[in-house]
Amino acid sequence: MSINRRKFLADTSKVAVAATLGNTLLTSLAQGQPAGLAFSQVPLPYAANALEPYIDAQTMDIHYNKHHAAYIKNVNDEIAAAKITATTEHEFFAMTSKLSAKARNNGGGAWNHNFFWLSMKPGSTAPSGKVAEALSGAFGSVDAFKDQFAKIALGQFGSGWAWLVKNGNKLVIGSTPNQDNPLMDLPTAQAGGLLKGTPLLALDVWEHAYYLKYQNKRADYITAWWNVVNWDEVAKRLA
């Protein structure tokens, strides 16, 4: 292992588990913008190599420190430049259709990745309790849910995300292109209609999320990812 990689892993290991973010995920007031919104990058709640062998440390390094960090910087730059008046992430996404492509793409990338990091943990076990009951009630069984979710993730053409959302009392699986998400006021296409609702679980299927380890084998990445899903976090979101 190189010195740089050892240093990265050591530094990342020192990061304390992120405090429960709940409904305040991503929002903080921008310095110099008293009434404005600033997106912030959550600390990784585990070491960069903690999800191995399913997600490798090098991918986590590039994904978190390069891709995600760039989304955070770019959306905050655009919020300031365009004088966007939203004060929360929900307000921001409720006006996405009126914002620039830079705000939409980078705001989605900032929020989606924070949600994604918290959706994973080392040592995942099978869903249980109310999550297992909800998945079985909506899709027939947990395994049937996984099969349907995997098909949506595999079938997303190009870059995008697969989602499990709660829409009213119904659980729905769908996908979004690029960095769109189900909170945006956009006509986001998915099989059978529009994907809207409260996100419960998300899988990043951009190539940068898996290509170093899995190359073009997206199906292998999806299969491996079930081993690191944080079902405890899904249960909190479902509550």
Is-cis flag, bond preceding 43, omega within 30? no
Predicted pLDDT at 14: 39
129-238: CATH superfamily: Iron/manganese superoxide dismutase, C-terminal domain (3.55.40.20)
Count of beta carbons in the 10 Å neighbourhood of residue 171: 19
Predicted pLDDT at 35: 53
Predicted pLDDT at 194: 66
Contacts for 235 with CB less than 8 Å, ≥ 6 apart: 129, 130, 131
Predicted pLDDT at 195: 86
Task: Give the burial string for 128-162 (b: 16+ CB within 10 Å, else e).
Answer: eeebbebbeebbeebeebbebbbebbeebeeebbb
Count of beta carbons in the 10 Å neighbourhood of residue 216: 10
Predicted pLDDT at 187: 65
Two tokens, residue 106: 């980078």
DSSP 42: P
pTM, full prediction: 0.84
The full set of domain ranges for the chain reads 3-118, 129-238
Predicted pLDDT at 4: 52
- C-alpha 27: how far from its chain's center? 15
What is the block-wise mean pLDDT of the chain (239 residues), using blocks of 10 residues? 47 38 37 68 97 98 98 98 96 96 98 98 94 98 98 96 95 95 76 76 98 98 98 96
| Strand 189-190 to 27-30 pairing | unpaired
The CATH number that domain 3-118 falls under is 1.10.287.990
